[in-house]
């Protein structure tokens, strides 16, 4: 075991992670700012209005990008959880711990932007027949469950492993929920005559803008998660010499 997985343990060293991300952060932040600016300006100023939805298609650029990123949280937490359970690498748990609340915020923003868009397109703020919104709601609930489990368990090692297991179970569950809600939904005929198929009447301009925004949102996700993980490292490794030196050097 020692030889074969050596690289993973080196990768999982908090100090190595901290040093590497220190080098990466400016590039990540720069790329994110650039793409966010380009995506936003394009979506707000240059994107031609949709012939059916008018200017509300500008909402979709943000909504689709955020929704896509929200779907990556449970897989991310499940992978981190597997690493925690199998190799007991602390860094994986530090990432997973901060991914849960961030994922809950992402899911919430997806729901909020979705219902603001829906208030025009469907004429209602909430639509149970849209399976994507409903399954996102339950993903939100499952993430809240992971967060409250973490909060309830005092021992951080137990909490790490318990949340890791719950994330793996939750990841499988999110997939099952998604498909069962989709199925359920096709049986309750959607009352809205407007196609809910995103992008069906939209041209390539829409997709290019959305793709740029999606990359920007993923970069933002990575940046925010890295920043939170670095804080976690500082707190948990506060007894290490390198953290002490860093703290003294920074203030």
Partner 1 sequence: MSRVSAAAAFCATLKRDLLISIKRRNEVLNPFMFFLIVVSLFPLGISPEGAMLRQIAAGVIWIAVLLASMLSMDSLYRSDYEDGSLEQLLLSSQPLYLLVFAKNIAHWLVSGLPVIVVSPLLAYMLSLPAAGYPALVLSLLLGVPVVGMVGSIAVALTVGLGSRGLILAVIAVPMSVPVLIFGTLAVQNSLAGASPVGYLALLGAMLAAAASLAPVATAAALRIALHG
Partner 2 sequence: MLAELQFDSLQEFLAMGGYAFNVWSVYALFAVFVFANLALPLRRRRLILRRLAARGDLAQSPAAAEQSGWEVSTVGEELQEQQREQKEQREQEEQGTKP
Q: How far is the CB of 182 from partner 2 (least distance, A)?
A: 25
Closer to partner 1 at the Cβ: 31 or 85?
A: 85
Contacting residue, 112, 157, 176, 194, with partner 2 by CB under 8 A:
112
Treating both helix axes as pointing N-terminal to C-terminal, what angle do 73-87 and 131-152 enclose, rounded to 10 degrees? Answer: 30
123 binds, among partner 2, partner 1, none (CB under 5 to 8 A by kind): none
Regarding 118 and contact with partner 1 (CB under 8 A), the answer is no
Q: How far apart are CA 104 and CA 46, in angstroms?
A: 31
Residues 33-72 that bind partner 2 (CB under 8 A): 36, 40, 44-49, 54-56, 58-59, 62-63, 66
Closer to partner 1 at the Cβ: 52 or 158?
A: 158
Treating both helix axes as pointing N-terminal to C-terminal, what angle do 57-70 and 131-152 enclose, rounded to 10 degrees? Answer: 40
Token pair of 154 as six digits: 């005092």
Total interface residues for partner 2 by CB under 8 A: 45
Q: How far apart are CA 161 and CA 166, in angstroms?
A: 9
Regarding 184 and contact with partner 1 (CB under 8 A), the answer is yes
- Taking residues 118 to 157 in sequence order and writing x for each that binds partner 2 by CB under 8 A, - otherwise, the string is -xx-------------------------------------
Burial of 23 (0-12, 13-18, 19+ CB in 10 A): exposed
Contacting residue, 2, 23, 26, 155, with partner 1 by CB under 8 A:
155
Closer to partner 2 at the Cβ: 81 or 114?
A: 114
Contact 99, 171 (CB under 8 A): no
Helix (H, G, I), strand (E, B) or coil at 58: helix
Q: How far is the CB of 86 from partner 2 (least distance, A)?
A: 28
Long-range pairs of 88-93 with CB within 8 A, sequence gap ≥ 24: 89/8, 89/9, 89/12, 90/12, 90/14, 90/160, 90/236, 91/12, 91/13, 91/14, 91/17, 91/229, 91/233, 92/12, 92/164, 93/160, 93/163, 93/164
From 143-151, 207-215, 218-226, 241-249, give the range in contact with partner 1 by CB under 8 A: 143-151
Q: How far is the CB of 14 from partner 2 (least distance, A)?
A: 14
Regarding 76 and contact with partner 2 (CB under 8 A), the answer is no
């Amino acid at each position: 075991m020692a030889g074969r997985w050596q690289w993973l343990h080196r990768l999982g060293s908090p100090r190595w992670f901290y040093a590497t991300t220190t080098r990466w952060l400016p590039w990540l932040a720069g790329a994110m700012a650039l793409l966010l600016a380009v995506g936003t300006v394009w979506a707000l100023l240059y994107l031609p209005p949709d012939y059916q939805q008018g200017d509300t298609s500008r909402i979709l650029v943000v909504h689709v990008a955020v929704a896509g990123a929200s779907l990556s949280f449970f897989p991310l937490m499940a992978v981190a959880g597997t690493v925690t359970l199998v190799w007991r690498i602390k860094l994986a748990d530090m990432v997973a711990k901060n991914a849960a609340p961030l994922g809950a915020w992402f899911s919430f923003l997806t729901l909020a932007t979705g219902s603001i868009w829906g208030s025009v397109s469907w004429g209602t703020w909430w639509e149970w027949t849209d399976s994507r919104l409903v399954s996102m709601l339950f993903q939100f609930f499952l993430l809240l469950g992971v967060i409250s489990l973490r909060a309830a368990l005092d021992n951080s090692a137990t909490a790490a492993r318990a949340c890791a297991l719950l994330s793996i179970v939750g990841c499988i569950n999110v997939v099952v929920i998604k498909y069962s809600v989709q199925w359920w939904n096709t049986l309750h005929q959607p009352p809205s005559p407007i196609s809910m198929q995103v992008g069906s009447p939209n041209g390539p301009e829409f997709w290019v803008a959305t793709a740029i925004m999606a990359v920007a949102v993923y970069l933002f996700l990575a940046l925010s998660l890295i920043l939170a993980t670095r804080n976690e490292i500082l707190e948990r490794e506060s007894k290490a010499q390198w953290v002490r030196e860093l703290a003294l050097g920074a203030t």
